[in-house]
Structure 1
Amino acid sequence: MTVRVLALVGSLRAGSHNRQLAEAAVKHAPGHVSVEIHEGLADIPFYNEDIDVEGSVPGAAADLRAAVAGADALLLVSPEYNGTIPAVLKNAIDWLSRPYGTGAITGKPVAVIGTAFGSYGGVWAQDEARKSAGIAGGAVLEEAKLSVAGSVTRFAETHPGDDTEVATAVLQVLEQLATKANA
């Protein structure tokens, strides 16, 4: 059985190294895992309970919920913006957390990876993403981590998918997600 992993990328920039890291996950997924990058996070309005009404949920938010509900696991790919999680990724988690206790993220295995320019690779943002996803109801794999430092120089001429160390680490994270999804 193929484990379906949905990747949510916290950067909206087309040339984002975090987008490329998600592409590396697609490229290096083991045979029993498929990874799909969810498009459309930019189209989701900020979470507001007044517009989260059954039958009239904004289309992009409903699409996100349906995509997550259809996935076996989530891979959050987070850059670090001013020392924390990007708003677009936090907003996605907020939409997925509702309705409270039964949101699409509830019980779903979640791993967080990312890259950033700094010397720690965005660990603060990734820790915040783990915390937020866990509080939202996700089954966060605390041990499944990948923080790639120095993204601007490291990936200046090499796509993360062509970096052997990154490819190996991404594969390990996906194997951990698959194991948790099949548990």
Structure 2
Amino acid sequence: MTSEKQTRVVVLLGSLRASSLNRRIAETLRTEAPEGVVVEIAEGLGEVPFYNEELDGTEIPAAAARLRDTVATADAVLAVTPEYNGTMPAVLNNAIDWLSRPYGQGAIVGKPFAAVGATPTPYGGKWSHEHARHSATIAGARVVEDIVVSEPAVDGDPLEDPAAVARLVGALRSLVEHQAASTAA
């Protein structure tokens, strides 16, 4: 019996709301993930304190340690996020801050990273996704620039649109293919 390695993608959710559209997108990606791909939502981002170097010592807060451990063992990271006031939500920025430390050795360093999601605006969260990619790049992630899925939710639920779901699953597939190609290289 041949056992093929599964690719583990950790989702950083930019919305803390239990029934948010972006959480539902993440759950859809978990359900619709390609064969051999496991999607894990990093839970508890709201419990991670704002990054403060004084807290980042020998006994870092448990929620921050869990986040680091979850991402450190992942093959890739996908931010699924709305947009708040033209940028990424603070909870996502804070997660990236914690994952970037210690400088040059953080849990996100070298991980393939992409950002997707939806907002109830005509822009679909494009600035949030740009800012998340920029921040992840500075943190040391390998951002996959050609993955851009910003779904506007103005005219309804994008998860009821098979084409929108296909674009989101396609973004996950592209992230995994990028991860596989970079691992093989």
- Give the structure-1-normalised TM-score: 0.93
For residue 91 of structure 1, report the CA deviation from its aligned partner.
Answer: 0.1
Q: Secondary structure in 1 aligned to 2:147?
A: strand
CA RMSD of aligned residues (A): 1.2
Q: Which amino acid aligns with 2:6?
A: T
Gaps of 5+ in 1: none
Q: Residue 44 of structure 2: which of 40, 53, 64 is its match?
A: 40
Give the CA deviation at 1:166: 2.2
Q: 1:31: which partner in 2?
A: 35
Report the number of matched residues.
177
Measure how far apart 1:111 and its partner are.
Answer: 0.9
Indicate the residue corresponding to 2:176 in structure 1.
Answer: 178
> Could you give the per-residue CA deviations for residues 3-44 of structure 1, whole angstroms, max 9, x where no partner exists?
100001000011111111111111111002110111100000
Cα distance in 1 for partners of 2:113, 2:56 equals 23
> How far off is 1:114 after superposition?
0.9
Greater RCO structure (CA 8 Å; 6+ sep): 1
The answer for the alignment partner of 1:122 in structure 2 is 125
Q: Is the aligned partner of 1:149 residue 2:152?
A: yes
SS of residue in 1 equivalent to 2:113: strand
TM superposition outliers: structure 1 runs of 4+ over 4 Å? none
Amino acid at match of 2:156: R
Q: What is the Cα deviation at residue 95 of structure 1?
A: 0.0
Q: Which residue number corresponds to residue 74 of structure 1?
A: 77
Q: Does 1:9 align with 2:7?
A: no
% identity of equivalent residues: 49
d(CA) in 2 for partners of 1:35 and 1:76? Answer: 12
Contact map agreement 1:24 1:170 (CA 8 A) in 2: no
5 Å matches for 1:58-69?
58-69=61-72
By how many angstroms is 1:167 displaced? 2.1
